[in-house]
A and B are shown apart, each in its own frame.
Chain A
Amino acid sequence: MEHAFKPEQMTKKYFTPWVIVLSAIALNGLGFLAMRFFFGIGSVTNLNNQFPWGIWIGLDVAAGVALAAGGFTTAALGHIMHRDKYETIIRPALLTAMLGYTFVAMGVFVDIGRWYYIWHPLVMWNGNSALFEVGICVMIYVSVLYIEFLPIVTERFIGKVNLPGFLKKFNLLVDGLLRKLDRGLEKTMFIFIIAGVVLSCLHQSSLGTLMIIAGPKMHPLWQTPVLPLLFLLSAFSVGFPMVIMESISASKSFGLKPELDVLSSLAKFVAPLLGIYLAFKIGDMFIRETFVYLAEFNSTTIMFTLEVVVGVIIPLRMFLSAAVRNSTTGLYIASLLVIFGIVMNRFNNFITAYNPPYAVESYFPSFGEISVTLGFVAMEILIYRLFVKIFPIISLPIKNAGLKAKYAIRGGLK
């Protein structure tokens, strides 16, 4: 248990065959994005007056926010409850959350028709609107995430400032400023950490409030007044699986040994969290007696069953098993299933469930829409890979142990 870890920059080379593939996917997405900006949303998407929201909202935004939940759940565990054991996973989770939310904001930016007015919600308020709440919370939270990331930047550059050319004479000055910033952040970071958790709880649940106003347009299997609670509980339960999945993926990609000890302990939290979510979901179904709809056999009920059985019940059973929790493959598969379940849930809430009264034909995302969504995911992975090479994010065991490492809240080694 007394392994000492220290976040280090990854040294493996950036380009691999997978990176090339991801770059191609990202470029393809960018191409369709250019089309969207030059010729309008209608030229790229299958959206129309019946279906105003597609996968750019349902997946890029709604699922994106949910999958970035690893940031605030690990912050709550590591920083607020002071479970020091989990310090090593906080930085990767923070980076994912920061990138995740940045891409959520990008998703909103490309989906809204008048993207140049994206700042309007800051000054034109509507306290009745769930979307307003989500928008404001996400904007503040993105800023908080960037602030939480700053100590990593200062840690990276303090004592190593080396500006090119004639800027060299500012090296000392910049270094001094960084040190000052670092000290200031160290004193105040707890404010931002708590704020980050509060903001997350708020907008994760308000995201669930969003579709309530659609009323009877939304299929009763999903339309319920407890949607905000279900969204919050499902965000809680997807946070750690997301961190586990990333950690294992990053280890594989950089040829490191997965930190199975930490991940297995973390996995113990997943089953109870998923269980609570499932209990509320099923309980709500019985209270509203919506299970009658499951007697029908159509695409809607198939999607619901997939979401609940494959995405919640099976991984719940898996996370209950110690054998699964102690195996890298088991953990990986179980975590992927939870992620699948939550992505399905967001997709279903925003797309499958949405049945406008005068729909002529149902919505299916266009090639352009799918390209942009995949492009964003690819870009996120590429930037992640770049960041773990530039900044000390991923923790490595310290060779000459004996020195007892402990991270302070700002993340540095003390």
Chain B
Amino acid sequence: MSQNRRDFLKTFAAIGTTAATLTAVTPNIAKGSSRRELSIDRKGVLVDTTVCIGCGKCEWACKTAHNMEAGNFDDYSSQLTDGSQRRPSENALTVVNQIDTSIMNSDKVKLQCMHCDHPACESACIVSAITKQENGAVTWDTDKCIGCRYCMVACPFQIPAFEYQKALDPKIVKCDFCYDRTKEGKLPACVEICPVGALTYGTREELLIEAKRRISKDPDKYFDHVFGEYEVGGTSWLYLAENNLVNKVFPKLGTNTAPGVSESIQHGLFAYFVPPVALYALLGGVMWLSKNKDKNEGGH
């Protein structure tokens, strides 16, 4: 090594200045989005599985609204009775399953993206292609997505799907809460078509009050729990059912926000770039000292 001490100090000063600048301009990036204020008027849907008749019209309406191959309007109800537990996929943003087909009128559960209040997919996305909108919808941006599928790894409900068969422009596919329709003041397609009123659209706050009202009015009919009120920090879609849906329909999840400790660790490691800069300074110090030690020992 041939540069002298002055060079070394000069460079370190330059690095220090750069780091200070970085720190000054980055608080917005370093701040966790999960700590962002959620709009009090954000919307949600209350799914009353005891009302659902399993006609599957919501599946048809969803596909039609999203320009997907929808097929025959009348073919949907038969899919329920075969007992298969289907999952939302790249071909269907929502599906309705009857949990236990051996019991005639047992709970039928509509599945789609839950639109978490603190979405793990949004936190995970490498390019911020996923956004929790002010109205509660969690949407995906085709112009940003690189197709890494980390959102699929992160989602606790295993919702996002991917078009594996496409060589070009494969998409991450999931329910977008009919973001384009609700912007125009229309109802989400599934809510609009539901013939029995199993789906109620409103602000999340109102829906929670309504859900609890239904439970207290008819405690024998409902399992005393609104799924989605606290799960993974709260979801926009809320479920009422005759039985406990946990483990049968939904995985057992805690009440911590979906990104969990991942964000705290991430921000801990990068707290305003202090740890990396400190490590840099430390290594620089070691490098300089060990070099001088060499010199004192006669250059080795």
The answer, yes or no, to whether B76 is at the interface (CB within 8 Å) is no
CB nearest neighbor in B for A43? B165
CB nearest neighbor in A for B167? A40
Contacts of A128 in B (CB 8 A): 32-34, 122-124, 259, 263, 266-267
CB nearest neighbor in A for B268? A228
Q: A53-B153, A126-B125, A132-B126 are in contact. Are A40 and B30 (CB under 8 A)?
A: no
Contacts of B125 in A (CB 8 A): 126, 129
Please, how many angstroms separate the alpha-carbon atoms of A386 and B279 in the complex? 36
A-B contact pairs, 27 of them (CB 8 A): A38-B167, A40-B166, A80-B290, A82-B293, A114-B146, A121-B146, A127-B270, A128-B33, A128-B124, A128-B259, A129-B124, A133-B270, A187-B2, A190-B11, A191-B15, A197-B283, A198-B279, A212-B260, A213-B124, A213-B154, A213-B259, A215-B120, A215-B253, A215-B260, A216-B251, A408-B1, A409-B1
Please, how many angstroms separate the alpha-carbon atoms of A118 and B147 in the complex? 9
CB nearest neighbor in B for A414? B2
Contacts of A133 in B (CB 8 A): 266, 269-270
CB nearest neighbor in B for A49? B161
Q: How far is the CB of A164 from chain B (nearest CB, A)?
A: 35
Let me know if A121 and B164 touch, CB within 8 A: no
Please, how many angstroms separate the alpha-carbon atoms of A206 and B262 in the complex? 10
Q: Which of A42-88 contact B (CB under 8 A)?
A: 42-43, 45, 47-50, 52-53, 76, 79-82, 84
Taking Cβ atoms with an 8 Å cutoff, the residues of B that contact A are: 1-3, 7-8, 11, 15, 26, 29-34, 85, 87, 89-90, 120, 122-129, 144-150, 152-154, 156-158, 160-167, 169-170, 251-253, 258-263, 265-267, 269-270, 276, 279-280, 283-284, 286-287, 290-291, 293-294, 300
Chain A 318-353: CB-based contact to B (< 8 A → 1; otherwise 0): 000000000000000000000000000000000000
Let me know if B128 and A114 touch, CB within 8 A: no
Let me know if A117 and B294 touch, CB within 8 A: no
Please, how many angstroms separate the alpha-carbon atoms of A198 and B253 in the complex? 36
CB nearest neighbor in A for B281? A194
The answer, yes or no, to whether A4 is at the interface (CB within 8 Å) is no
CB nearest neighbor in B for A111? B148
From A45, A50, A121, A211, contact of B127 by CB (8 A): A121
Contacts of B287 in A (CB 8 A): 79-82, 190, 193-194
From A48, A132, A213, contact of B260 by CB (8 A): A213
CB nearest neighbor in A for B142? A114
CB nearest neighbor in A for B4? A187
Contacts of B122 in A (CB 8 A): 128
Contacts of A97 in B (CB 8 A): none
Please, how many angstroms separate the alpha-carbon atoms of A84 and B76 in the complex? 74
Contacts of B294 in A (CB 8 A): 82, 84
From B32, B33, B283, contact of A76 by CB (8 A): B283
Contacts of B265 in A (CB 8 A): 130, 209, 212, 225, 228
Please, how many angstroms separate the alpha-carbon atoms of A191 and B8 in the complex? 9
Q: How far is the CB of A73 from chain B (nearest CB, A)?
A: 13
Chain A 177-210: CB-based contact to B (< 8 A → 1; otherwise 0): 0000000001110110111011001100110011
Which of B8, B120, B144, B160 has the most C-beta atoms of chain A within 10 angstroms of its own C-beta? B144
Chain A 202-246: CB-based contact to B (< 8 A → 1; otherwise 0): 100110011111111100000001001000000000000000000
Which of B15, B153, B170, B263 has the most C-beta atoms of chain A within 10 angstroms of its own C-beta? B153
Please, how many angstroms separate the alpha-carbon atoms of A49 and B159 in the complex? 8
Please, how many angstroms separate the alpha-carbon atoms of A52 and B163 in the complex? 11
Extra 18 A-B pairs, beta carbons < 8 Å, given A120-B144, A127-B26, A357-B251: A40-B166, A42-B164, A53-B153, A82-B293, A108-B148, A113-B164, A117-B145, A117-B146, A127-B29, A129-B128, A129-B266, A130-B265, A190-B284, A191-B11, A198-B276, A211-B153, A216-B156, A216-B251
Per the CB 8 Å criterion, the residue count for chain A at the interface is: 73
Let me know if B124 and A190 touch, CB within 8 A: no
Let me know if B269 and A120 touch, CB within 8 A: no
Please, how many angstroms separate the alpha-carbon atoms of A202 and B167 in the complex? 33
Please, how many angstroms separate the alpha-carbon atoms of A121 and B258 in the complex? 23
Q: How far is the CB of B31 from chain A (nearest CB, A)?
A: 8
Chain A 370-386: CB-based contact to B (< 8 A → 1; otherwise 0): 00000000000000000
Q: How far is the CB of A193 from chain B (nearest CB, A)?
A: 8
Q: How far is the CB of B20 from chain A (nearest CB, A)?
A: 17
Q: Across chains A and B, which 5 residue pairs bring their CB atoms closest together, nearest first?
A: A113-B147, A42-B164, A127-B29, A52-B152, A52-B149
Q: A79-B287, A129-B123 are in contact. Are A114 and B147 (CB under 8 A)?
A: yes
Contacts of A190 in B (CB 8 A): 1, 3, 8, 11, 284, 287
Let me know if B146 and A112 touch, CB within 8 A: yes
Let me know if A228 and B283 touch, CB within 8 A: no
Let me know if A50 and B158 touch, CB within 8 A: yes
Contacts of B170 in A (CB 8 A): 40-41, 113-114
Please, how many angstroms separate the alpha-carbon atoms of A76 and B283 in the complex? 8
